[in-house]
Structure 1
Amino acid sequence: MKQFLTFSFLGTALGYAHRKRQDGPVDSSTSPDCTWYDTALDSSYDCAYFESMWALTHEQFVSYNPSVEDDCSGIVVGNSYCVEVNYGTPLPTPTTAEPTATASPKPSPTQEGLADTCTAFYMAATGDSCQKIVDKYRTFTVDDFLTWNPAVGEDCAGLWAEYYYCVGVPGTPTTPLPTPTTTPTPTGPSPTQDGIVENCTTFYQAAKGDTCQKIVSKYGTFTQEDLITWNPALGDDCSGLWAEYYYCVGVPGSPTTRPTTSTSTSTATTSSGPSPTQTGIIGTCTSFQKAVKGDTCAAIAQEHGTFTLDEFLEWNPAVGSDCSGLQIGYYYCVGIPGTPTEPPATTTTATNPGCTSAPTPTQPGVSCSCKKWHKVVSGDTCASIQIEYNISVANFNKWNPGVGSDCSTLWLGYNVCVRM
């Protein structure tokens, strides 16, 4: 007897060094006096393994685990089985008939509200989540888990490591559900917002600073209306765009390449207009210009000198009030019926006849006492000139009132004052 107890203790010590206590589901019929468990990790864990590893007789093992038949059938891979009762010491002889167990042994600690009918338990480990536990067993759903363990909360924020949770009730399958043999429908990356179309084939992860129009411009294969239809959580004004989230940018039938466009930058005058253009462009447009690298809304207005910046924004609303939606390679309206075809005629001499030293042409209202001039070239803006010559906005507008407070009438090829 002494030799048997020593061997049993040694087996227990070895098991302690290699196994966790009860780290798999436990059948409800398992001995309620069980004090140590081992888990069947694969099909090689049979009666012979448990009985040899833990120095048990066959009668002891099946008596501790009534779910295991005398022929050793009933062992479920992943479940934990009792290999020691009453810490290895004999149980006292009962003076009365022992009642039949009506509930599973409940380990400790557990949280409040755990299902009374629970038949299988799992100790949560650091890093676990409700979904991870569900994926581990594949015999119940997240909703089932939350119902059996209400203290974890709907967001699973109350899941605590080293606590036991219910992972089975009467009727719960004891083996994982078979994996479908058909290829599942792709669900796409995560995170995504609610309502994204189910038939999405292409996704894009939004970056900080992105706008709907920037995403549309990046791909050039769909419109902003398409983007919002596929991703309704964005909202009509795109205020729901979140950085680091994935958005649908393609569905079956979406083009995979940008539309072919002409390489010419000359103005088109066809009634239907060139392509691509952005949505919302005015229907009465008679003249178009393709945006090139370095263009801004103000620069386009200045280059033509026949319309204001406000008019350009009105004809091309998709660029936005701050012009952040201007896309290279897209055509924009630069004229409607009644728009002048040439900039307003101006005098080729200084406004003040006494300013004989001023170059020509200059814009109306330029200061006669100007000491230094700058000839406007393509790509210039009021801001770029002010930076180049270290001029304040107030002084530049004071010396050159003809450019307008919004700089919409800064004309290409004309001279402006940059030093007094």
Structure 2
Amino acid sequence: MAMQLSNPLGYDSGLASSFASLTSSCNATSGYAFTSHTAYALNSTATTVPASVTATPPPTCTGSYTVQATDDCNSVAQTLNVSTYNLLYDNNLDLYCQNFATAVNTSLCIPPTCDLYTWQALDTCAGVVSSYPGMTIPQFLAWNPNFNDLCQNAGGFQGYQVCVSPPGGYANGSTPTNLSATDVATTAAPAPTNAASGTNSDCGLWYTVQSGDTCGQIDSNYTNLELGVAYCVEAVGNIATYSGYSTSGGSSITVPPASFSSVNTAIQTSTPTGYAYTQSLMPTASGTISGCSVYANYNASIDAESDCEYIAFAYQVTTDQLLAWNPSLSSNLSACNLQDGYSFCVEQTNATTPDTPSFCQPVNVSNIVSGTTPTCDCFTTVNGYYNGTYLCGDIESDYSITSTELTAWNTWLASDCDSNLYAGMAADDIRPVCIGVNATAPSQTATTTSNFVSMGPTATDDLLDLVYTVLSMEPE
């Protein structure tokens, strides 16, 4: 900007005034000097004007006010009937009230007064202006220069006092008396002595351009307004009755009609084609029976999910069934795991399930904790990764047993049930817990070669959902 002002062809007195005010407000005291030019002519002599000189005219004070310790910028503005912006601007204070506390016990200049409105968080310029018939958006913006041309910064002024009438009154020194009940001028207002030459005298309201106004604030169609000159800003009656008034804003054009091909709006009934996930199975293990309804791949990412006991639990089958369908698996359940690179039968539609209570689960007898009653015929299991989230009280609630029964059938829980329940377990460990003795439903018949007895309910229904979700996400 300084470079433009230093050029005789780019110099403009208004631009120079704005630049000097800007550098002054930023405390930029050096390095921004520019050359002031007279009207462009040969052999003209230019002088250098220091950038520290401000072109902002001194404020017009209507009085003074001493700031109290309990004051804030908005409360003072409301008390004095002035806008918050004018109060701050005329006293060289931060426009966002950041340094207002430094003004305590000092005297402030009182700028010209106006009718006030307290700005709310969700207000818009158009919304506020519509509440005051006869007021236009250009007028509002001229009276409140803190709002930008499009009022996009309105959110930063919540609680501010804003002017809804001209600061200091109208051009003739008083509120117009020529307004109807709907605040539309019915007679012409007296033309002020500073009225712009050529302005229609049949004018309902005049406005004098003030320092800080921009063309966009007054009317975006104006590009050559002059400081201190009054312009007509409101018609008398309906402006459409004025000679030469046009609503077209220019020559009209004819837009040819557009034509579009017909669109089939019928609801599609056929199943859309797209990607359907199909699990890619590994080769079946040696001896694994054919015709199973579900096969499971070895899961190389999580060893625990290839454990035979876990697989039986996840697919709600017994380990005896799992071993019978997959003879290549080890009969030693502590070492039984699915083998890398193969898939295994884990569900057979016509398989016969042992007639046990639906909530009892098969467990490995080698995992039964010492102190579990030998007469237990219904077990559930807890997994190590439920430590701290699924406790003794949850087991009692899920299977409708009492704490006395739980600790009597599992004496190893008696001293501290919640702590002992998971004592020494890793995240992928499974531990049987007795939840029933002498069940009325028949128990699973144990064979001489079986390492399992009947087993209790899953910890929660959510656990089964989790198990099936995990297994359905096996890598290909």
Normalised to the residue count of structure 2, the TM-score between the two structures is 0.21
Bigger Cα Rg: 2
